[in-house]
Amino acid sequence: MVRSGYLSVDSSTSHRRTPSRTVTLGHIQPQAPTYRTVYCNDRDSNMPVRFKGNSISTTKYNVFTFLPKGLFEQFRRIANIYFLGISCLSMTPISPVSPITNVAPLSMVLLVSLIKEAFEDWKRFQNDMSINNSTVEILQEQQWVPIPWRKLQVGDIVKIKQDAFFPADILFLSSTNPDGICYVETANLDGETNLKIRKALERTWDYLAPEKASEFKGEIQCEQPNNSLYTFTGNLIVQKQTLPLSPDQLLLRGCSLRNTEYIVGAVVFTGHETKVMMNAMNAPSKRSTLEKKLDKLIITIFCVLVTMCLIGAIGCSIVTDREDYYLGLLQKPDWEYRNRFMIGFFTFFTLVTLFSSIIPISLYVSIEMIKFIQSTQFINRDLNMYHAETNTPASARTSNLNEELGQVEYIFSDKTGTLTRNLMEFFKCSIGGISYGCGVTEIERGIAQRNGLKVQEEERSTGAIREKGFNFDDPRLMRGAWRNEPNPDLCKELFRCLAICHTVLPEGDESPEKIIYQAASPDEAALVTAAKNFGFFFYRRTPTMVYVRESHVEKMGKIQDVAYEILNVLEFNSTRKRQSVVCRFPDGRLVLYCKGADNVIFERLADGMDDVRKVTREHLENYGSSGLRTLCLAYKDLNPATYDSWNEKFIQAKSALRDREKKLDEVAEIIEKDLILIGSTAIEDKLQEGVPNCIETLSRAGIKIWVLTGDKMETAINIAYACNLINNDMKQFIISSETDAIRNAEERGDQVEIARVIKEEVKSQLKKSLEEAQHSLHTVAGPKLALVIDGKCLTYALDPSLRVTLLSLSLNCTSVVCCRVSPLQKAQVASLVRKGAKKITLSIGDGANDVSMIQAAHVGIGISGMEGMQAVMASDFAIAQFRFLTDLLLVHGRWSYLRICKVVMYFFYKNLTFTLTQFWFTFRTGFSGQRFYDDWFQSLYNVVFTALPVIVLGLFEKDVSASLSKRYPELYREGIRNSFFKWRVVAVWASSAVYQSLVCYLFVTSSSFGAVNSSGKIFGLWDVSTMVFTCLVIAVNMRILLMSNSITRWHYITVGGSIAAWLVFAFIYCGITTPRDRNENVYFVIFVLMSTFYFYFTLLLVPIVSLLGDFIFQGVERWFFPYDYQIVQEIHRHESDASKADHLEIENELTPQEARSYAISQLPRELSKHTGFAFDSPGYESFFASQLGVYAPQKAWDVARRASMRSRPKQLPKKK
Amino acid sequence: MSSNTASSSAATAGSGDSSAARKNSKRPKYSKFTQQELPACKPILTPGWVISTFLIVSVIFIPLGVISLFASQDVVEIVDRYDNDCIPAPARTNKVAYIQGGGDKACNRTLRVTKRMKQPIYVYYQLENFYQNHRRYVKSRSDSQLRSPKYENQISACKPEDDVGGQPIVPCGLVAWSLFNDTYTLSRNNTRLAVNKKGIAWKSDKEHKFGNRVFPKNFQKGNLTGGASLDPDIPLSEQEDLIVWMRTAALPTFRKLYGKIETDLEMGDTIHVTLQNNYNTYSFSGKKKLVLSTTSWLGGKNDFLGIAYLTVGGICFFLALAFTIMYLVKPRRLGDPSYLSWNRNPGGR
């Protein structure tokens, strides 16, 4: 250690010299690429390096860049580019329309989008300002001086008071607490509400008072700013001593100080270089499948446009004739009409401009608005998805995917925390080959019930202890009775292992009743609670000591406090799947306690324990099949000499700057061997409320549910049974790596050989299963199929050569269970189905290990309100309970899908209808491209006269009520089949558009040929076109009412309003003249029209005739080819869906048991690392938003902002 | 913070805390909007609805059809195509040369009144295959110039008939330039029938679009003469022929009002028309027709509306009948669960 310290001093001094020397030469040398050097309390020395300031800016624009950048963003949309092009075209003389026709709608759309952007950015700016201006105290001339955050610089010594937020990433120097520790809350970073301990280096403990602190002149060498929250390597050089730094000394911006009066620290990273800000990046945004199909539709429309223009161009070049002298082609030679080819060429573009309205410019904006309201108003505020116990409403974190929820066919679900409660209760244990604990799990009960057995409720012995995390009763162990068991020593070791080998923090009073354990996972808390109930009460932890109040150890009834010195903690991680503690007993005995996954422990056992091992394995399998989570415990006595030599290696590894993790793992491997097996523990993991029902509903909806879990195969299968995913009527294919062939190969130990054997085995099993599956599919009433596969086999099955087989097999199965899978495999399975089968997938999970899967699927759902928030942060929707999937998918998803389909179809229809009337007219103008409508009519058609009703449709359309949607889950299949967005549907709408445009155009033009009033007057072009336009606006708006399944008063208001808006506009527009050279074509036209009877006769006839076609179609369709939803509507046509609100009130009343679980759920909880299969994810965001009542921080800057903003109003007076 | 509140809630677990929890509750507030329970009418197109809608439509449409058909039947219309006949037989091989040549192009036509025509009788000319709605044609005008002498020079849109030697043409543009110039003189039993050429334009055009201080200038002074010339001493607002012509037609076949006869014509009357066949439709093989027509309250002869109303009403009636029969013959029970797709083929995927 000493040597390494010297080495780094050398390197550091050389570092120090280089910049200072170059500075004197007037050059500023850039920092060495891998390290940054910070001189504490010395602004001048830090000056040359020019660290970034501490002010943050999360705005996208500033005053100058707003317009160019904002416009650029807008024009990244292809539709806007298209309209920009059209607008440019319409400035040229070939355009039949004035530029306003295309510029007006485009600017309207751009304006709306830009205002939205500006508003959002303004809010961000205000937040930034308030953050940057909050104050922090820094050390200046031996005094604490408050300055705003933005003036903070790297190297400053700052003082942070209790409950305040850290303004930057700070190196922790000293604290008012003894032992130089402080507590931080990281809820804003990772959503974990338990307190974390940070510990200052012993060397810096004294720098607390301002006078003393100003003497501190240290030099920090540390890594360059990066986004890894949980790592930090560096050295602190104080008085030529080099001290290794670890994440333990780093206080991250965004966290807050708790239970500590104040701390003093040195600023290391500032502003945008802090870890939290470095992490602030946008999750890749997902686009819904429907939207991608919409693109195809748009392309098709574009092709239609080109065809129409080609027809017109060819027509024009044929028809145009110089003999039409009245066109003035003889007078002056005209570039546009030089020859037939030129005529066709220019006419093409003329027509493109004329027909540009076929592409619905406001479609995207409208859809965005609809989806935004859907997610913020409907999904986020649905009382049916509000979980009262955890006080968590549903939260749509993106509004892009609402309609995707209506088409999900595959659900990938995590097990723990999602299907099960992650409410861990110590249930059974096995010690030295004897199994203890006499409870019956719910799953066992379920299995028994399915097998038709009666389950006897075992009488609990009176006084059985039941508390959170402990549901164990066995008189053989309780109250010291273990002393009489065959292996009392092993029992003692087990209890000690439970009480010592963990990373739990006790909080509150040091009495067994009042203590609260802050644990990294509920399993750990359950285990420590178990130890407490067995008489080994862990009540206090200091950085070096663990205090346990042991009962009945030496003799019955004797209670003694024992202090164990914790020498090393070999921490849990996903590769190790175990955790060890080296401790020194008061009598000097050195023991290593280890707990971990069974296979990891069994590999490391000392020889000669085969009997116990075998029995324990049996017990483990039993526990597993009862749905219990198991851990193996082992210990080992250490020889002081071997320990010392090992410890040296350990310390070296610990202070390594590079690959510290890996080195630590290697060192741990050295000592964690030749263990003595104590036994195993079993923890019950309860099913979430309503899971079996929900799964049944979803499978009736045609959704296939796959469970992907890190748990053992037995546990997974049993959970699947308990959830109704698998039952005995199903044919099960089990592909497991636990076959004899594979075991034999494993015993031989050759890696290559093992791989080959497993691959062969998997291949043959897959082939065989697939054959059987296909066979049973061909038989008429073949059983449903289920596939169970474990992670090891999955590795090989996901191999490109076998992937297809796996896919076709699994697609034939109604349920699939993958167990022992890693997070990566979860993601692979999701993307296998997503990409391979092209089906719409949904992943739901609660933990960090589900993040990759959540991101890989089309829709990611996080379970919120319970655990850490990584999953929620990565998700697109967050719900509190698995069972809310029913509401989210069957109600919101289905409706959204239906609505968006209808909106898109309607947009398509209304623009096509409009443009087609123009097209028909073109045939009668010699294909000249004369516009039919006035410029303003055409430009406002989309953005005013037909804009609102379709939005109302997109918000309020309901085919059947929410309760019926859930009662008839099969209705959901229409979404899976994509019934409402097929080319067939498009064709129906297109023919409707053709029909209506023909009716509007032909009826008006043919009837308006002669005199139109009693004084023999004749209509001109603009009278006719205004007539057509009026009919069109009425017909198109009324179509909304015809296609709605549920007509609210908003429908009436907007439809009536749109028609009225047209009339009002016409009155005003036709009534004014301007001095500008405006085409006053339509001047007075509407008044002329309305002075004739003809107008009213046509107005009644044309819209009704044009709607009649659709009416007949709908009537016939409903009569002969009814959709399912239509039948359901008919079944329940006399029911009203009122009084739903009352139900809700009743549902939210808490029963005593619910109240208890509410209280429990309010307990602090941390990220689960359930038995070896929870992985720390590098992707992190936080879920503090729920605390503020602000949901879904969609953007990264929100994370950073809230991370820094959260404060406690109550504490404010205290500070002053 | 949350750990503190959490521990306290665990400790007290109940009464006092629950109110605090409620205050903090993120439970969404109930509103009909957010719960998507807005009162709504849920129309179901049941056979009853379909049939009664059809019936209602037919009940309204058939009478309207009858009314408008009657109105149209009242109108008496005499149409006479003269473009071909008014070219002397020898010139028919090259009509364009004839029409462009000089000389008197008078032509006599005889019309027979088949039914009594009550005054006012409207005289129209009808042109066919004349693209008055051509893009180049429609835009070749200057509305501001027509309205006010102030804007005399706003002729940019009028190309190629914008100016003569730098002097703006008033009224400029192709539309005015190609003004129709056939004239009709009607007589009955050698008595001349007065054709009133006042009041043939829409009042709004006369009053608002054509200025009473705007006088024709440089009109038809270019190399080519398109049509009629205008009296430079009469303001545009009084040149009703021009006003009518400038209200460009919607389709290439169109009628324009020429004048009114304010005398009744009796059945069997013979009308002699002496017309000057000046207007060149021969270049583009357009037809010219003379039309005499009375009007009803609904306008001129217009069977289309009546027929359309009657047809649609009839179709609706027929559909109502057909649906009723279908309903009686092969009824589909409303809300029959056996129609549900999952009941039709159980277990189907």
Q: How many CB atoms lie within 10 A of CB A146?
A: 10
Mean pLDDT computed over B109-124: 91
Average per-residue pLDDT in chain A? 79
Among B209, B297, B300, the residue with its CB nearest the CB of A1093 is B297
pLDDT of the residue at B91: 84
A842 and A933 together in one domain: no
Q: Which of residues 80-119 of B touch A (CB under 8 A)?
A: none
CATH code for position A600: 3.40.1110.10
- Amino acid at site B77: E
Q: Which of A188, A326, A699, A1135 to mutate to test the interface with B (most CBs of B within 10 A)?
A: A326
Q: Is the pLDDT of residue A674 over 50?
A: yes
Closest by CA position to A369, among listed A979, A899, A1044:
A899
Query: Does A1018 contact B at CB distance below 8 Å?
Result: yes
Is A101 found in the same domain as A203?
Answer: no
Residue A505's pLDDT is 79
- Each residue's pLDDT tens digit, A75-94: 877 778 888 888 888 888 77
Residues of B in contact with A1130 (CB under 8 A): 44, 46, 334-335
The number of helix segments (H) and strand segments (E) in chain B equals 11, 12
Predicted confidence at residue A312, as pLDDT, reads: 92
DSSP 8-state symbol, A1016: -
Task: Please write the tens of the pLDDT for every residue from B119-168.
Answer: 889 999 999 999 998 888 888 888 888 888 888 888 888 877 778 888 88
- Distance between A1009 CA and the closest CA of chain B, angstroms: 7
Best residue of B61, B340, B345 to probe chain A, by most A CBs closer than 10 Å: B340
**Cα–Cα nearest to B64, from A566, B271, B56, A420:** B56
A939 with A866, same domain: the answer is no
Residue B321 and residue A383: Cα distance in Å, rounded?
Answer: 48
Those residues with Cβ within 8 angstroms of residue B338's Cβ, 6 or more apart along the chain or in another chain: B344
pLDDT at A1207 over 50: no
> Would you say residue A190 lies in a domain?
yes
**The two structure tokens encoding residue A1046:** 């549920």
A129 and A159 share a domain? no
Q: Do the strands A135-140 and A143-148 form a parallel or antiparallel pair, or are they unpaired?
A: antiparallel
Give CA–CA dist B303/B308, Å, rounded: 8
- Round to whole Å and give the CA distance between A294 and A297: 5
Report which secondary-structure segment, H or E, holds A767.
Answer: helix A751-778
Would A957 be classed as within a structural domain? Answer: yes
Specify the pLDDT at position A1137: 53
Using 50, 70 and 90 to split pLDDT, how confident is the model at A1182?
very low
**Do A124 and A166 sit in the same domain of this protein?**
no
d(CA A1030, CA A156): 72
Q: Which residues of A are annotated as a binding site?
A: 414-416, 524, 572, 595, 629, 709-711, 820, 826, 846, 849-850
Q: List the one residue out of A170, A172, A152, A164 whose CA is nearest residue A188.
A: A164
For A156, list phi and psi in degrees, rounded to 5: -65, 150
Residue that has been written with the tokens 């202070």 in this structure: A655
Q: Per residue, what are the HEC states of A595-618?
A: EECHHHHHHCECCCCHHHHHHHHH
Residues A562 and A611 in one domain: yes
Q: Which of residues 263-292 of B touch A (CB under 8 A)?
A: 280, 283-284
> Is A642 inside a domain boundary?
no
**To the nearest whole percent, how much of chain A has pLDDT over 90?**
16
Per-residue confidence (pLDDT) for residue A420, from 0 to 100:
80
**pLDDT tens-digit map of A944-993:** 899 899 999 999 999 888 888 888 999 999 899 888 898 999 999 999 99
Residue from B26, B58, B319 to probe the interface with A (highest A Cβ count within 10 Å): B26
Chain B hits for A1028, CB-CB cut-off 8 Å, are: none
Contact yes or no for B254 and A1160 at CB 8 A: no
**Tens-digit pLDDT profile for residues A1110-1150:** 999 998 888 888 888 888 888 888 776 544 444 443 344 44
Of A239, A255, A279, the position where a domain reaches its end is A279
Same structural domain for residues A229 and A198?
yes
Domain containing residue A833: CATH number: 3.40.50.1000
Is residue A60 over pLDDT 80?
A: no
pLDDT attached to residue B23: 53
Q: Do A1005 and B41 touch (CB under 8 A)?
A: no
Confidence of residue A867 (pLDDT cuts 50, 70, 90): low
**Residue A973 near chain B (CB below 8 Å):** yes
Spatial contact of A1054 and A957, defined as CB atoms under 8 Å apart: no
| Average pLDDT of span A473-497 | 84
Region A361-388: mean pLDDT is 88
Q: Where are the beta strands (DSSP E) in A92-161?
A: 135-140, 143-148, 157-161
pLDDT band at A261 (very low <50, low <70, confident <90, very high): confident
Pairwise pLDDT comparison (A186 vs A477), residue with the higher score? A477
Where do we find the tokens 């109303």? Answer: B309
Contacts of B302 in chain A (CB under 8 A): 1007, 1009-1010, 1094
- A467 pLDDT higher than 80: no
Distance of CA A695 to the CA centre of its chain: 21
Size of interface A-B (CB pairs under 8 A): 363
Q: Among B21, B174, B249, whose Cβ lies nearest the Cβ of A1020? A: B249
The Cβ of residue B48 has, within 10 Å, a number of other Cβ atoms equal to 13
Euclidean distance between the first and final Cα of chain B, in Å?
52
pLDDT digit string, tens, across residues B204-253: 888 888 888 889 988 888 777 788 888 889 998 899 999 999 999 999 99
For B102, counting Cβ atoms within 10 Å of its Cβ (0-12 exposed, 13-18 middle, 19+ buried), the class is exposed
Q: Indicate whether A694 and A814 sit together in one domain.
A: yes
For the segment A720-747, the average pLDDT, to the nearest whole number, is 77
Q: Is the same domain home to A717 and A858?
A: yes
Question: A1035: pLDDT confidence band, cut at 50, 70 and 90?
Answer: very high
Q: Is A1045's CB within 8 Å of B42's CB?
A: yes
Is A263 within 8 Å of A172 (Cβ atoms)?
yes
Q: What is the pLDDT of residues A397-447, one digit of tens each?
A: 877 888 899 999 999 998 877 888 767 788 888 888 888 887 777 667 666
Burial of B317 (0-12, 13-18, 19+ CB in 10 A): middle
Counting beta carbons within 10 angstroms of the beta carbon of residue A285, is it exposed (0 to 12), middle (13 to 18) or buried (19 or more)? Answer: exposed
User: Where are the extended beta strands (E) located within A215-326?
Assistant: 218-223, 234-238, 241-245, 250-251, 256-258, 262-269
Residue of chain A whose alpha carbon sits nearest to that of B45: A1115
Does residue A175 lie within any of the structural domains?
Answer: yes
Range scoring the smallest mean pLDDT among A183-187, A824-828, A842-846, A1018-1022:
A183-187
Residue positions forming the annotated binding site of A for ATP: 414-416, 524, 572, 595, 629, 709-711, 820, 826, 849-850
d(Cα A827, Cα A850) in Å, to the nearest integer? Answer: 8
The residue written with tokens 């607490």 in the block is A177
Tell me if A702 is assigned to some domain: yes
Could you list the residues of A known to form a binding site for Mg(2+), using ranges: 414, 416, 846, 850
DSSP B61-122: HHHHHHHHHHHHHH--EEEEE-TTTTS-GGGGGGHHHHHHS-S--EEEEEEE--S-BPSPEE
Smallest CA–CA distance from A931 into chain B, residue:
B135
- A214 contacts: CB under 8 Å, gap ≥ 6: A41, A139, A141, A142, A157
Residue A11 pLDDT > 50: no
- Pull the structure tokens for residue A689: 């409320």
Q: Domain ends where: A279, A306, A324? A: A279
The ipTM of this complex is 0.92
Q: Tell whether A331 lies on the interface with B, counting CB pairs under 8 A.
A: yes
Tell me how far CA of residue A668 lies from CA of A643, A671, A751, A1176, in angstroms: 12, 6, 23, 19
pLDDT at A751 over 90: no
Q: Residue A1083 is nearest to which of B27, B160, B209, comparing CB atoms? A: B209
Q: Is A1105 on the interface with B (CB under 8 A)?
A: yes
Residue A1176 lies in a domain: no
The domain total for chain A is 5
Which residues lie closer than 8 Å to A441 by C-beta, 6 or more apart? Answer: A427, A626, A627, A628, A684
Residues of B in contact with A1138 (CB under 8 A): 37
B3 against A644, higher pLDDT: A644
Residue A284 has pLDDT above 80, yes or no: no
Using 50, 70 and 90 to split pLDDT, how confident is the model at A1078? low
Q: Three-state SS for A777?
A: helix
Question: CB–CB of B258/B80 below 8 Å?
Answer: no
* Cα-Cα end-to-end distance for chain A: 46
Per-residue H/E/C for A527-591: HHHHHHHCCEEEEEECCCEEEEEEECCCCCCCEEEEEEEEEEEECCCCCCCEEEEEEECCCCCEE
- Domain holding A785, by residue range, is 376-418+689-890
Residue at token pair 């809608």: B53
Mean pLDDT of A1015-1044: 92
Query: What is the reported pLDDT for A447?
Result: 63
Where residue A279 falls among pLDDT bands split at 50, 70, 90?
A: low
Same structural domain for residues A523 and A551? yes
Nearest-angstrom CA–CA distance, A52 and A1030: 62
Task: Classify residue B170 by its DSSP letter.
Answer: B
Give the closest-approach CA distance of B139 to chain A in angstroms. Answer: 8
Indicate which residues of A carry an active-site annotation: 414
pLDDT average, residue stretch A662-673: 84
Residues within 8 A of B (CB atoms), A 192-251 only: 193-195
The answer to whether B328 contacts chain A (CB < 8 Å) is no
Cβ-defined contact of A507 to B133 (cutoff 8 Å): no
- The pLDDT value given to residue A1164: 37
pLDDT of A110 > 90? The answer is no
Q: What percent of chain B clears pLDDT 90, i.e. is strictly above it?
A: 32
Read off the DSSP letter of residue B207.
Answer: I
Whether residue B298 is predicted with pLDDT greater than 90 in this model: the reply is no
pLDDT at position A94, please? 78
Across the interface, whether the CB atoms of A1127 and B9 are under 8 A apart is answered no
Instruction: Give me the residues paired with residue A235 across strands.
Output: A221, A244
**B303 → chain A, closest CA residue:** A1007
Give the Å distances, CA to CA, from B68 to A635, B58, B78.
104, 15, 20
Lowest mean pLDDT among A13-27, A690-704, B296-310: A13-27
Nearest alpha-carbon partner for A468 in B318, B266, B220, B6 = B6
Tokens encoding A276: 């939290």
Is residue A366 assigned to a domain? no
Which residues 1036-1075 of chain A have a CB within 8 Å of chain B?
A: 1044-1050, 1073, 1075
Q: What is the pLDDT of residues A588-623, one digit of tens each?
A: 888 999 988 887 888 888 887 788 888 888 888 888
Tokens of A1001: 């155009």
Peptide bond before residue B120 is cis, with ω within 30 degrees of 0: yes
Q: Which of A1068, A1101, A1129 is the last residue of a domain?
A: A1129
Specify the residue for token string 């017309």. Answer: B275
Coil, helix or strand for A84?
Answer: helix
Using a CB-CB cut-off of 8 Å, the residues of chain B touching A1016 are 120, 122, 124, 200, 257, 260, 293, 295, 299-300
A954 and A1073 both lie in a single domain: yes
Mean pLDDT (whole number) for B26-30: 85
The answer to whether A821 touches A794, Cβ cutoff 8 Å, is yes
Q: Are residues A414 and A431 in the same domain?
A: no
Q: With a cut of 50, say whether residue A1157 has pLDDT above it.
A: no
pLDDT at B1: 37
Identify which has the larger pLDDT, B5 or A176: A176
- pLDDT > 70 in chain B, percent: 92
In a domain, A313, yes or no: no
Report which of residues A1199 and B314 the model is more confident about.
B314
A1115 touches chain B (CB under 8 A): yes
Q: Greater confidence, A917 or A125?
A: A917
d(CA B309, CA B303): 10
Residues on chain B touching A1008 (C-beta within 8 angstroms): 250
Decide if pLDDT at B256 tops 90: yes
State whether B293 and A970 contact (CB < 8 Å).
Answer: no
Mean pLDDT of A1063-1092: 79
